Amino acid sequence: MPLGWYLAQGLYPIGPSSSDDEEGPCELPNGQIVCGPHGLVVCGKCCTDYSFMSSSSDKDDYDDDDDSPMNNPPINKDGDPGAPHSLGPEMRIGGGRVIPERFTPPTTSIMPTELFRGQKTYFGLTRYIHRDDPQAVLIFTDGACLNNGQPNPKAGWAIVYGPGPLIVSGRLERTGPFGDESIQSSNRAELRAVIAALRFRHWPGEGFTTMVIATDSEYVVEGSTKWVRTWTRNDWKTNAGADVKNKDLWEILLGEFERWMEKGLSIKFWRIPRDWNNTADAAAKWAASENEVPNRWKDVILVLS
């Protein structure tokens, strides 16, 4: 997506840091990243958490912690032009320590927007909030690929994070999160959408303890809640002995599950019928139709001032 589109939506695509951006992350003289409006490492008003970018002396305190950033280093490769842009939380490689649950609605006929009626507003943006649990938020995700499995495939992803609707979408990058060349496919786009949703905000800062991801993708739901248990035990081999496809995205997704568990956020997946996901589906297809393909992986976060 062009930079102007994100800025028009009040979004800031994370890339090289800028100390002149008063509404986004700013860098202090000591190298610490803080929120621009309030100068805080962890800011409840901006719902941001830059504690992962502590000084080197602080990081020394975590050297013996198996789950610390020192033992889950960033995947950016210094000097590699294909490395991802990320000033958001470190992208760690997960090992299957945290496996999400499937979300069970009270009835099979209730639609997500009936159960999550969106009664909470943050900085003028309304979220899909559970009618009986103000600490549970819902996000729709979808991925699409034009000419999937054929010559010249074009993939895109989308998330819908509130009524209105509030949408973020983008073309699937040419490279994966490790900076390696990747393919354009519907399954990769579906996974990319979920990763984008999880990294879009510091969700606990808005008071949430549960995030429900609504998707029509069996691949995403079954893979996230069931299949990854076998894949990680089998060293990323299927039961038939084949290599698991899209391993790079699955590892990053598992890392997100672990990171959010440590922050007190539980992730659940709700598989919904395709016609309940029309908004995200249309946005993902629109993104896939864009001709410009990002050369490398980029985080997209929402910054509220």
pLDDT, mean of residues 253-277: 97
Angle 167-171-175 from CA coordinates, rounded to 5°: 135
* Residue partners of 60: CB distance under 8 A and separation at least 6: none
Q: Where are the domains of the chain?
A: 92-302
Q: Report the CATH fold assignment for 92-302.
A: Nucleotidyltransferase; domain 5 (3.30.420)
E strand intervals along the chain = 11-13, 25-27, 33-35, 42-43, 48-49, 101-102, 121-122, 125-126, 128-130, 133-146, 154-162, 166-171, 210-215, 266-271, 300-302
pLDDT, mean of residues 75-84: 43
Angle 152-244-196 from CA coordinates, rounded to 5°: 65
Dihedral sign from CA coordinates of 252, 202, 189, 14:
negative
Flag whether pLDDT at 4 surpasses 80: no
pLDDT band at 48 (very low <50, low <70, confident <90, very high): low
Question: Which ranges of the chain does DSSP label H, i.e. alpha helix?
Answer: 3-8, 56-59, 112-115, 186-199, 218-222, 228-233, 247-262, 278-288
pLDDT, mean of residues 169-181: 94
What average pLDDT does the chain have?
A: 80
| Position with higher pLDDT, 167 vs 16 | 167
